[in-house]
């Protein structure tokens, strides 16, 4: 089962609960989630974050500024989402997103996500492990540490996709 199907299943379950509270039907919510993307041709993104993380919202702002439509889902436990998405142990960060058929873990720059979508490699997605100062959403007090964006292969191995500050 690919990542998009797994995330769609998670969203469908969440939508059932939300639909009852909002007066919308499950079909209304599902139709809204089925939007194929933004007006500029980029696919829509779903970002999962914890309620206590502020840098995640800053990363979402970076994605929106780059032209992505982002649906933010605030969840109390990201572990299941990360496991279902196939994020390798030790390669996680504070938020997880899906875009197209890919997973994006952590503070990955929008340019790398656009490159991933254009090149369309047979892979799970991208990750910036940890919370690296200077990466999108982590711009604080002028500090910028070097970091790598890693490509997550389907077998869970990783390789450097791009490097910053080196």
pLDDT per position as a tens digit, 113-166: 999 999 999 999 999 999 999 999 998 778 899 999 999 999 999 999 999 997
- Here the tokens at position 120 are 């369309």
Instruction: Specify if 40 maps to a domain.
Output: yes
Tell me the mean pLDDT in the region 32-46: 69
Instruction: Specify if 17 maps to a domain.
Output: no
Give the end-to-end CA distance of the chain in Å, rounded to a whole number. Answer: 37
Instruction: Specify if 14 maps to a domain.
Output: no
* Domain range for 159: 35-164
- CA dist., res. 57 & res. 74, Å (int): 10
- CA dist., res. 20 & res. 26, Å (int): 8
- Here the tokens at position 98 are 């899906």
Instruction: Specify if 117 maps to a domain.
Output: yes
Instruction: Specify if 47 maps to a domain.
Output: yes
Name residues whose C-beta falls within 8 Å of residue 58's C-beta, 6 or more positions apart in sequence.
136, 137, 138, 139
Q: Number of folded domains in the chain?
A: 1
* Helix pair angle (26-33, 3-22), 10° resolution: 140
- CA dist., res. 125 & res. 87, Å (int): 9
Instruction: Specify if 68 maps to a domain.
Output: yes
CATH number of the domain bearing residue 157: 3.40.30.10
Does 24 have pLDDT greater than 80? no
Instruction: Specify if 126 maps to a domain.
Output: yes
pLDDT for 21 equals 28
Does 27 have pLDDT greater than 50? no
């Amino acid at each position: 089962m690919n990542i998009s199907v797994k995330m769609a299943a998670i969203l469908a379950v969440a939508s059932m609960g939300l639909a009852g509270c909002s007066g919308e039907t499950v079909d209304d919510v599902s139709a809204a989630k089925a939007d194929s993307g933004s007006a500029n041709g980029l696919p829509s993104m779903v970002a999962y974050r914890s309620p206590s993380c502020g840098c995640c919202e800053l990363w979402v702002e970076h994605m929106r500024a780059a032209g992505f439509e982002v649906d933010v889902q605030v969840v109390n436990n990201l572990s299941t989402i990360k496991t279902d998405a196939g994020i390798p142990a030790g390669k996680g960060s504070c938020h997880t997103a899906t875009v197209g058929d890919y997973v994006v873990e952590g503070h990955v720059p929008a340019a790398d996500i656009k490159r991933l979508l254009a090149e369309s490699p047979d892979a799970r997605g991208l990750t910036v492990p940890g919370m690296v100062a200077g990466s999108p959403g982590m711009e604080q007090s002028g500090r910028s540490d070097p970091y790598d964006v890693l490509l997550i292969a389907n077998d869970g191995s990783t390789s450097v996709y791009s490097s910053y500050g080196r």
